[in-house]
Amino acid sequence: MIEFDNLYVGGRWVSPAGDEVLEVRSPHDGSLVGTAPHAAPADVDAAVAAARCAFDDGPWPRFSPQERLAVVERFDKLYAARADEFAALITAENGSPLWFTRWLCRTGVPEQTAGYLRAAASLDWDERVGATDKSRTVVRRAPVGVVAAVIPWNAPHQSALTKLVPALLVGCTVVLKASPETALDALALAEVFDAAGFPEGVVSIVPAGRETSEYLVAHPGVDKIAFTGSTAAGRRIASLAGEQLKRVSLELGGKSASIILEDADLAVVVDGLRTLSLGNNAESCVAHTRILAPRARYEEVVGALKSMMDGLRVGDPADPETFIGPMVRADQQERVRSYIELGIAEGARLVTGGLERPAGLDDGYYVRPTLFADVDNTMRIAREEIFGPVLVVIPFDDEDDAVRIANDSEYGLGGGVWCADQEHGMALARRIRTGTVSVNGAPPTFDGTFGGFKNSGIGRELGATGLAQYVEYQTISA
């Protein structure tokens, strides 16, 4: 069992203001994974004060970009040395399968950080524009200030570092509010920041619940809010930011559609959707959970998806052979089950899965991977984010119909196109109103951007665009 007695506030390990303790229990069997302090408003006050002082008077914003880059590179190397340890801890906390957390900690997070480092190394921090004989003008990229970063539990280190790394490279100071479900890995991450040698006050990491999140984002000492989570929570944060005219970036929910054209190689499609739709227990905002199939191949697609889903190993997430683990909490398990009940009530055809627990799993927050066919895009199971292993297959008549259905959603985060002709797939992808689209399952580069249209968010993460979320532009003429 892991025990943390202190919080990481302003670059130092300090006793918490209160005595409330977070117990992190395994969603697989309920065993106690560890304990950590629950940050109180007084802890947030201390963290913001330290960040404010470090930004206003400390060295970090005044370091050269190269000096900041060197410290972040040192952090990155220290993180890599503990990647497997972090993967196992996150799996124990939130039930993400070990194959996923290992990939994320060994490969995904380092590549994400590398993309930010490349962008920072090539950025023109003081750009000369419109020079004349009489004057010169410089557009300066200045750090926005104190950043409040609020992250979810489903991919905690990836979510944290896609905010912390760009903010720090630009010269901001950061207070990270982690979810109570993943409090332990958050404080373990603080150990790496501590070892990397950031100046005092630059980084604080405090795990706490929703009330503390709201206290942090509304804090008058915060200049910018970076949030990943539900659309409902994003609306609340946006309203708080609007009242104070704070800068805000929001990475929110999704209901991504994958369009399968008639000429697609179905074996490639199903193999790709295995991860794109059901990776990380489908507790992923970008999961492809609406599968759009042509009527001419509809039953073929349904059958292939059924075979794939029936073959997935569900069980202990710490077993490397397990593909799908438990939902993170009992209420999340019940939420997913309620959508399965709703799908049946709405008249969709239950192809596989359902309300019975997976065989041999009497404990834990498990849900059977569930597939619905004969789904209309007006059904709630086709419109609302379920955040669990439930897929719906929607028929379409032609490509125009497929695009109409894909775009008929309040969300616009991700999506896919599957076809024989890659150029045709690219052309079709341009018609889909989402932040990311993959053609035949091609993985995105971390030098690109990630974020959503419509109710899937505001702003973008990754690469040079991600750095820009933490910048204020200042024009100086002389």
Say whether 83 sits in a helix, a strand or coil.
Answer: helix
Is 53 marked active-site? no
Indicate the DSSP class of residue 328. Answer: S
Beta 247-251 vs 224-228: how paired, if at all? Answer: parallel
Beta 415-418 vs 438-439: how paired, if at all? Answer: parallel
Q: Which residue shows structure tokens 């989570």?
A: 229
Q: What token pair was written down for 446? A: 């971390």
Cα separation of 317 and 358, whole Å?
14
Contact 415, 402 (CB under 8 A): no
Candidates 93, 181, 251, 399; catalytic one:
251
List alpha helices for 279-419, DSSP H: 298-310, 330-345, 380-383, 399-407
Which of 182, 229, 150 has the alpha carbon at shortest distance from 329? 182
Q: What token pair was written down for 376? A: 């209309």
Say whether 136 sits in a helix, a strand or coil.
Answer: coil
Cα separation of 248 and 163, whole Å?
12
Which of 262, 265, 240, 281 has the alpha carbon at shortest distance from 386? 281
Is 93 marked active-site? no
Cα separation of 255 and 261, whole Å?
19
Phi, psi values for residue 354, rounded to 5° = 120, -160
Candidates 285, 385, 419, 461; catalytic one:
285
What residues does 349 pair with on adjacent strands? 373
Contact 148, 172 (CB under 8 A): no
* Helix, strand and coil percent figures for the chain, each rounded to 5: 45, 20, 35
Beta 390-396 vs 288-294: how paired, if at all? Answer: parallel
Which of 83, 82, 436, 72 has the alpha carbon at shortest distance from 288? 436
Q: Which residue shows structure tokens 């227990």?
A: 281
Q: What token pair was written down for 425? A: 């797939």
Segment (H or E) for 428 = helix 422-429
Contact 52, 143 (CB under 8 A): no
Strand 126-129's sheet: what is its strand order? 126-129, 137-143, 471-477
Sorted by sequence, the CB contacts under 8 Å of residue 288 that are 6+ apart come out as 256, 257, 258, 273, 276, 277, 414, 415, 416
Catalytic positions, written as ranges: 251, 285
